[in-house]
Amino acid sequence: MDHEFIYEALPTRVVFGDGKLAALPAEIDKLGARRALVLSTSAQAGWAGQVAKVLGEKCVGIFSEAAMHTPVEVTEQAMQQVKDLAADCVVGLGGGSTIGLGKAIALRTGLPQIAVPTTYAGSEMTPILGQTEKGVKTTLRDALVLPKTVIYDVSLTLSLPPALSATSGLNAMAHAVEALYAQDRNPIVSLMAEEGIAALAQALPGVIADPQDRDARARAQYGTWLCGICLGSAGMALHHKLCHVLGGTFDLPHAETHAIMLPHTAAYNAPGAPEAMRRAARALKADSAAEGLWSLAGRIKAPRALKDIGMPESGIAKATELAMKNPYWNPRPLAEKDIEALIRRAWAGEAPQA
């Protein structure tokens, strides 16, 4: 174990359980709020309508235009509604895109937000916000954007399509894998990371086999919560850096990119973080973390090749160059030729190698 560390708990109230969406009105009361603006994507507008019904007169409006990577123009439209309706809290129901919009509003207004996540991305547990303006994405960390309350209701995840469940679950696991070897890791977050990886590894095959399996779904959501805390609490390294570079440069889908890269970055970092990777392997019940993640990705039919999600082969050199620029701290130093080989393997869909 590490003999020196700093641990700072993030002050979010978590309400977890099947049917807990019904607790939303009471949770709004607890925040001292009365006028909620409900947020969703356009695809989930119908759900936002149901939430409005649950809230009755506590809901003053719905904004259903949340979009990937929190475009500033969309936030400005939502801000107009916040002002026009004199909303005193926001409720974000959806995945990382919707929760990102709630965070962007909280940053600008200081209003409390309640997040009701319906994917496994984990944004609800972090004080991190990524925003896009004129095609440029910037990320900030601010206590103002951390949701005051998170409601995890498994019934809202039953409709998450198997393909998105698989990639979103691996996206969650990536937060925990990197937390295990983070420079600012600590014993509590490492416990959560190991438990989060184990819960998701156990749950995801069941979720894919039967998306209506409430037990598997609840276990996946429990793992998601723990992995979200990891992302909010520990610094991320090579894996997140590569995913940001690849997603930002080639406009690749978020969860799929994480799912493809994770076995490769775990293999790369194994020599630099043997204890962390031993714990990840134990959670995966595998001989090595990379092997366990690769085999899990195969079992849950996650994509394995960047070329299959839209990355051109000609982009490998560009991605390598960007990955080597302003690198995040990493447990194993970055060697350009090894990073290029890693990206090439991930592009082609080949098995990971250290």
Pick from 326, 128, 320, 314: nearest CA to 231: 128
Q: Which of 75, 123, 257, 269 binds ligand NAD (CB under 6 A)?
A: 123
Q: Which of 92, 95, 102, 169 binds ligand NAD (CB under 6 A)?
A: 95
Q: Which of 12, 75, 81, 118 binds ligand NAD (CB under 6 A)?
A: 118
Question: How far apart (Å, rounded) are the C-alpha atoms in residues 290 and 294?
Answer: 6
Name the region of 86 (left: φ>0; alpha: ψ -120 to 50; beta: rest): left
In sequence order, what are the beta bridge partners of 114?
91, 149
Task: Give the count of beta carbons closer than 10 Å to the beta carbon of residue 183.
Answer: 11
Which region among 26-34, 72-80, 92-100, 215-223 touches ligand NAD (by CB under 6 A)?
92-100
Pick from 275, 289, 279, 192: nearest CA to 233: 192
Q: Which of 33, 82, 90, 121 binds ligand NAD (CB under 6 A)?
A: 121
- Write down the least CB distance from residue 288 to ligand NAD, Å: 26
Site string for ligand NAD, 227-266 (x = CB under 6 A): ----x----------------------xx-----------
DSSP state of 285: T
Amino acid at 202: Q
Q: Which is nearer to ligand NAD, 168 or 186 (CB)?
A: 168
In sequence order, what are the beta bridge partners of 91?
38, 114
Q: Which of residues 285-344 bind ligand NAD (CB under 6 A)?
A: none
CA dihedral sign of residues 208, 176, 353, 322: positive
Which region among 2-10, 90-98, 197-205, 280-288 touches ligand NAD (by CB under 6 A)?
90-98
Q: Which of 7, 19, 43, 287 binds ligand NAD (CB under 6 A)?
A: 43
Q: Which of 24, 35, 38, 44 binds ligand NAD (CB under 6 A)?
A: 44
The reply to whether 126 sits near ligand NAD by the rule CB under 6 A is yes
Site string for ligand NAD, 153-192 (x = CB under 6 A): ---xx-xx---x---x------------------------
59-93 in b/e form (b: 16+ CB < 10 A) is: bbbbbbbbbbbbbeebbeebbebbeeeebbbbbbb
Question: Roughly what angle, to the nearest 10 degrees, separates helices 187-209 and 162-180?
Answer: 160
3-state secondary structure of 132: strand
The reply to whether 80 sits near ligand NAD by the rule CB under 6 A is no
β 136-141/128-133 pair status = antiparallel
- Write down the least CB distance from residue 303 to ligand NAD, Å: 14
Binding site for ligand NAD (CB under 6 A): 41, 43-44, 68-69, 94-98, 100, 118-119, 121-123, 126, 128-130, 156-157, 159-160, 164, 168, 231, 254-255
